[in-house]
Every structure is written in structure tokens, then in C-alpha cells.
Amino acid sequence: MSTVHDESAHSSCNHHQGNGHSAHSSCSHGHHHGKEESCSHHERPLNQVKNIIAVASGKGGVGKSTFAVNLAISLAETGAKVGLIDADLYGPSIPTMFGLLNTKPEMAGKNLVPLEKFGVKLMSIGFLIDIDTAVIWRGPMASSAIKQFISDVDWQELDYLIFDLPPGTGDIQLTIAQTIPLTGAVIVTTPQDVAIADVSKALGMFRKVNVPILGLVENMSHYELPDGTKDFIFGSHGGEKFAKIQGISFLGSIPIDRAVREGGDSGTPCILTHPDSATSKAIKQAATELARQVSITNARQTEELS
């Protein structure tokens, strides 16, 4: 995969601007209905991918990657075909979280074959180059690398392709929001005010480019003490209240749990190491609710088109 790339390939076609999700309408897993795009002069990337979901937050370190990883595995466990793109070029987490730090993807012709683990197809800059090299990349180069994750990777048929976004609302986030036909975005936040303030910025960005907000997840909602009482370390229900005010679906609260952190560091996510814990159940519930919101969004989209 070269790092400099012709960016014109998909940029001038309006259905790639913002939520060009017409191609993904009325999707549910298991059966691809093969809608064709009418744009004849461009080959549409990802035409075998039914739903593309960005996991975002304004703030760093709130658990986007952790949620994206556990969400992907959770959806795969339901029988869906799932891919996960690590869009954090400057600090990729997916290789560590999947225990694939020294694994390189193979080529199939001109395309990269995504790695696959725990039932999820994966692509990360961390699989391709020395991380120290990525750090010096400037905006346009980073944006074109992201586009190559779409155009030059052999994803094949997927029910869900999840983007784990970097923190903030910079070039990479905007490129993805504007040029990838996202079904919608999931916002991850902690309950505290400073995180919520940054979430507002991310919401504003997605709304500006007409990307639907699928819902909000409150991570690190509380810590359960040995006597069973809950310590609301980062404040209580901040995410839930914010979602209500904004009219966004609330996908659930995920507690602070040592197993989550350990799972991320060890390369086997908590949903696999502790499948029956309260935390894993909360994550699975959020994944189910998200899948429901995807269906609702697609149905609404189909309605608007008809």
C-alpha cells in the first residue's frame, strides 16, 4: 500500500459527501440485497458493506477504541460479518487490543487482505508501518491513508464496518464524515462535564455533514465497590442526561472495570475473557441497541427516498 494516493477517485460524487448512505438502506444482516449506485464514472468502494459506523468522541481517552473493539466482537458473536478500521493513525490501538502487534496483512493482487481475529476483520496503520513513521504525517497524507483503508483493502461482504476514530474533530474525522458513506456515528463519552463539552463539538461536526447520530454510550459510568454500592467517579448520569437533552438515543452505561483495561492491554477483550460480567452484558446490550438504531436509521432513510 503506497501512502500517497489519487484522492480524486471518490471525492466528486455527491453520494460520498456526508451521509451518502443510500446504498446501505434497509439492511439487516445475513442477506445482501445488492443495490447498485447510479454513479457510472466511479466504482463505488465498499459496495458489499451494508452499514458503516463511526465510533467517535470529542475527547481523548474516554474508551472509543475499547468500545469499538468490544462492539465489533459482540456484533460478530451474533452472526454478523464485521470489519473494524483503526482510523487513529497517530496512536493506533487495535493491534494491541487484538494481540496482533507483530502481524502483517498479506496482499491479494493489488489489495491488502484484512487480518482476522475473534471473528472480526481488521485493518490498522499499526499493521503496516512503524508507528513512529506515522506520527510525522500531515493532514492530507493522513486523509489519503484512510481512504486507502477503503479502496485498497479487500473487505468483501460485511454487515458492519466500524471505524474507530481518533479523538477530536480534526482532518481525519472530517474526511471520514464527508467522504465515507456512513450509516451513522456512535458517540462515546464519560459522564464528566469536560468530556460532554467536547462531545458537543463532535456532534456539531457530524450534524453539519448530515451524518445521523445512532446513539451515545456512557463509558466509565461508575465503579462498583466491594459492598455493591456504586461510586460515580466521573459524575452521575452525565452522558444519559446529555443524550436526552440532545434528542439522541442512549445506548447504555458501561462501568469502570479492571477487566476492561486488562482485556485491552492483554489482547483478548473483556467481552471474551469475562462474557458474563455486568460490564460485558452492558456492552452487549449497547451493541444490540446500536444494531436496532441502525435498522431504524436505514428504514427512515428508505422512507425518505421513496
Residues that bind ligand ATP (CB under 6 A): 57, 60-66, 88, 91, 93, 166-167, 219-220, 254, 256-257, 260-261, 264
CA 247 to chain centre: 21
Please name the residues in contact with 189: beta carbons below 8 A apart, sequence gap of 6 or more.
57, 59, 62, 195, 196, 198, 199, 216, 217, 218, 219, 238, 239, 242
Query: Minimum CB separation from ligand ATP for residue 53, in Å?
Result: 15
* Contact partner, 191, from ligand ATP, Mg ion, none, Cβ < 5-8 Å per class: none
Pairing of strands 158-164, 82-86: parallel
Report the chain's terminal Cα–Cα distance, integer Å. Answer: 40
Please name the residues in contact with 183: beta carbons below 8 A apart, sequence gap of 6 or more.
19, 21, 24, 51, 52, 53, 212, 214, 294, 297, 298
Nearer to Mg ion, 190 or 301 (CB): 190
Query: Minimum CB separation from ligand ATP for residue 210, in Å?
Result: 24
Q: Is 219 in the site for Mg ion (CB under 5 A)?
A: no
* Contact partner, 175, from Mg ion, ligand ATP, none, Cβ < 5-8 Å per class: none
Query: Minimum CB separation from ligand ATP for residue 27, in Å?
Result: 26
CA 44 to chain centre: 20
Give the separation between CA 66 and CA 280, rounded to whole angstroms: 12
Pairing of strands 111-112, 230-231: unpaired
* Beta-bridge mates of residue 213: 185
The b/e string for 234-265 (b: 16+ C-beta within 10 A; e otherwise) is: bbebbbbebbeebebbbbbbbbbbebbeebbe
* Contact partner, 63, from ligand ATP, Mg ion, none, Cβ < 5-8 Å per class: ligand ATP
| Short-list 246, 294, 254, CA closest to 277 | 254
* Contact partner, 75, from Mg ion, ligand ATP, none, Cβ < 5-8 Å per class: none
Query: Grid coordinates standing for 170?
Result: 480534526
Give the separation between CA 47 and CA 30, rounded to whole angstroms: 15
Nearer to ligand ATP, 208 or 261 (CB): 261
Query: Minimum CB separation from ligand ATP for residue 33, in Å?
Result: 33
Nearer to ligand ATP, 55 or 150 (CB): 55
Nearer to ligand ATP, 23 or 256 (CB): 256
* Contact partner, 66, from Mg ion, ligand ATP, none, Cβ < 5-8 Å per class: ligand ATP
Query: Minimum CB separation from Mg ion for residue 164, in Å?
Result: 6
Query: Minimum CB separation from ligand ATP for residue 71, in Å?
Result: 11
* Contact partner, 147, from ligand ATP, Mg ion, none, Cβ < 5-8 Å per class: none
Q: Is 25 in the site for Mg ion (CB under 5 A)?
A: no
Q: Is 57 in the site for Mg ion (CB under 5 A)?
A: no
In the bound complex, which residue of the shown chain has the CB atom lying closest to Mg ion? 65
Residue in 57, 93, 249, 301 binding Mg ion, rule: CB under 5 A:
93
Query: Minimum CB separation from ligand ATP for residue 113, in Å?
Result: 25
Nearer to ligand ATP, 158 or 282 (CB): 282
**CA 180, 139, 218, 76 torsion-angle sign:** positive
* Beta-bridge mates of residue 85: 123, 163
